[in-house]
Amino acid sequence: MLSAVEKCLHTQLPFPWSVIKYEAHIIKKRKLRFNVNLFSSACVLLHSIDQIFKPLCMKTKSWITLFLLAGIGIALFLLPSCEKLKEATTFKVKYDLPDSRYNIDKLSSLKAEIELFSQPYDAINVDSIAGSGAKFVERVTLYKLKFSIEKPETSNLNWLNSARVKIAPVGGTPVEIASAPVINSTDRTIDFIVKDTDLLSIIKEPFILTVYGNLNGNIPALPMEVLLQSGLELTISPIQ
């Protein structure tokens, strides 16, 4: 069926304005319908693409999650293994410091803490003690500290309530490294409770050990010869 414009063209008649306006309206409607159909087709296409790639994205995310979980699992497995390996390869070397003897000629009858005696030491050559493992020395601690009365043989520690020991680099700040909170009056020897203090940086330079005693007012037989025995323990760990 011919439109009004086509009829005018067919009959070669002039175009009336009403016909032109009508045809313009028809063209706009057709164009709008075309755009709507085009948009609908595009939406359908996008939806189809989304349906295709969405499972792929989900699978990719699943693989990434799986790899992350596997990595965490491997890390959790290896960390304890590394710690166990380090523990298995770590060893300790003991080194006794030279014995220190000192004569106590007088004591105060006051109930107070005093310095019983102080002993200087040369710097410790850690390399010579550890040998080939010198560069793997992790820390140095005390493993023993003993204070004893040597003479007179009848004397005991009934004049002490407690005692403690400090270490200090020459000219440096003292650090408490051992203590004896309770001393039996019949004892002649104090086995100090040593602290787990790393002394590596201190013993590389000349240092001083000082013994402090908390007097209880009793006066022992004097003079008294006392002995201080001490020992270091080097922890060597090839796996850092």
* pLDDT of 93: 85
DSSP 204: T
Q: Kind of pairing, strands 189-191 and 193-194?
A: unpaired
pTM across the whole model: 0.62
* pLDDT of 194: 95
Q: Residues 179-217: pLDDT tens digits?
A: 999 999 999 999 999 999 999 999 999 999 999 999 998
Q: Residues 149-187: pLDDT tens digits?
A: 999 988 999 999 999 999 999 889 999 999 999 999 999
Count Cα atoms within 13 angstroms, Cβ side, for 14.
2
Per-residue pLDDT averaged across 13-27, rounded?
45
pLDDT bucket at 239, cuts 50 / 70 / 90 = low
In contact, 199 and 167? CB cutoff 8 Å: yes
Greater model confidence, 19 or 221: 221
DSSP 135: G
For 119, 171, 217, 234, the CA distances from 164, given in Å and listed in that order, are 14, 20, 18, 22
pLDDT bucket at 18, cuts 50 / 70 / 90 = very low
CA distance 156 to 237: 42
